[in-house]
Chains A and B, each alone.
Chain A
Amino acid sequence: MGSVKPIREHPPEPAAIQAHALDHLRYIRETMEGASSFTAVPGFGGIAMGATALFAALIAAHQSTADGWLAAWVGEGVAALFIGLFAMARKARSARMPLFSRPGRKFALGLAPPMAAAALLTLVLYRAGVMGPLPGLWLMLYGVGVVAAGTFSVRVVPAMGFCFMALGTAALLGPPGWGNWLLAAGFGGLHTVFGIVIARRYGG
């Protein structure tokens, strides 16, 4: 005796449909979050940070004391931090993403530890009266942070980090007189060039 086959297949259970739909929505959200790390790095913010760094390099070059030189660059660091945060918030808003969604968090968590280390080492070296290694230290640690933070971003972001690390190496091994101009080339030049590339290719 042959088995009876239903003419129509039974529709899937509501629970199965719900699980399937939830799985699809989760996939969409994860893909969007992963893809939006491409846009989490603000190109226009990089250009603005580059402009203020070039200005800071000029001011720092005209300082007669080491303290004045340090104050110019520390001021630039604080200004760049606010510009970066503002630009990331603006870009996240335009992509309709919260600032500290997964891509934003990933970027901040990658960049923050080397920046905290740079701040602490700056204080230690300043107290010890050793200012020579500071440009190399800043460029190197910022580069390390950008490479780490940009691991899940477009290749141009970690590439920028490696360029900073190369300039940091030159500053640490080169003559002390290069320091200020390597800072200008890095925080001014690299931010501007890569900022233009990111803004043009990755929407702002």
Chain B
Amino acid sequence: MARQSLLRKERPVRAAQAPAGRAQDLDRLIHERLRLGIVSALAVNDSLSFSELRRLLGTTDGNLSVHARKLEDAGYIACVKSFDGRTPRTEYRLTAPGRRALEKYLAHMEALIRAAREK
């Protein structure tokens, strides 16, 4: 149910369907600043733990948890839970669709800048 409402609200727009350079066609899922931060941080690391991401992005446990879950539900990041001794450890990594989404988002941003310069 939660996933359905997420998909209804923040379904990513496929770049193939959307002409580049239109602000309304942005992938809303990673357009949100903290989610964009999560994806960007994971793009340059094989994996990062929950506490590393929280420290890096300067956010709270609850906020990070909510936004990471949205990215996880969309298949952009993968989460592996394990134990380091008795301490639970949550590791995140970027999936192939997540990396593609970030690349498309970057291309889209660049296209927006180009389009704005041409006007």
Contact = CB atoms under 8 A, between A and B. Distances in A.
B2 interface: no
A201 B49 CA distance: 10
B1 interface: no
A17 B112 contact: yes
A35 B44 contact: yes
Contacts of B36: 24, 27-28, 31
A78 B17 CA distance: 56
The A interface, classified by DSSP as helix, strand, loop or mixed, is helix
B116 A38 contact: no
Given A24-B36, A27-B37, A28-B106, A95 B44 contact: yes
A39 B41 CA distance: 11
A36 B116 contact: no
B113 A31 contact: no
A154 B51 CA distance: 10
Secondary structure type dominating chain B contacts: helix
B109 A24 contact: yes
B92 to A, nearest CB: 12
Interface centre among B40, B41, B56 (most CB of A within 10 A): B40
Contacts of B42: 35
B44 A36 contact: yes
Contacts of A202: 45-46
A20 to B, nearest CB: 8
Interface string B85-119: 00000000000000000000010011011011101
B113 A38 contact: no
B26 to A, nearest CB: 9
B: contact size bracket? 20 to 34
B52 A154 contact: yes
Interface string B55-92: 01100000000000000000000000000000000000
B8 interface: no
A32 B52 contact: no
B113 A35 contact: no
Contacts of A18: 112-113, 116-117
Given A14-B115, A18-B117, A38 B37 contact: no
Nearest to A29: B40
Interface string A4-24: 000000011011011001101
Contacts of B40: 27-28, 31-32, 35
15 contacts: A21-B116, A24-B109, A25-B113, A28-B40, A28-B106, A32-B41, A32-B44, A34-B56, A38-B45, A38-B52, A95-B44, A201-B47, A203-B45, A203-B46, A203-B47
Given A17-B23, A38-B45, 11 more contacts: A11-B23, A24-B31, A25-B110, A25-B113, A27-B33, A27-B40, A31-B37, A34-B56, A35-B42, A96-B44, A202-B45
Interface of B: 23, 31, 33, 36-37, 40-48, 52, 56-57, 106, 109-110, 112-113, 115-117, 119
